[in-house]
Amino acid sequence: MILVDRLRKYPSGYWCHMVTDSSPEELHDFALRLGLSRERFQQHQRLPHYDLRPPMREKALELGAEAVSSKELFRRGREAFLEKRIP
- Per domain, the residue ranges of the chain are 2-84
* CB-CB contact of 48 with 87 (8 Å): yes
Indicate the residue type of 29.
D
The overall average pLDDT reported for the chain is 92
Whether residue 28 contacts residue 38, with contact meaning beta carbons closer than 8 Å, is answered with: yes
What is the pLDDT at residue 72?
A: 96
What pLDDT does residue 85 have?
Answer: 55
- Nearest one of 38, 51, 60, 55 to 10, comparing CA atoms: 51
Q: Which residues of 45-65 are buried (b: 16+ CB within 10 A; e: fewer)?
A: eebbbbbbeeebbeebeeeeb
Q: What was the pLDDT predicted at 10?
A: 94
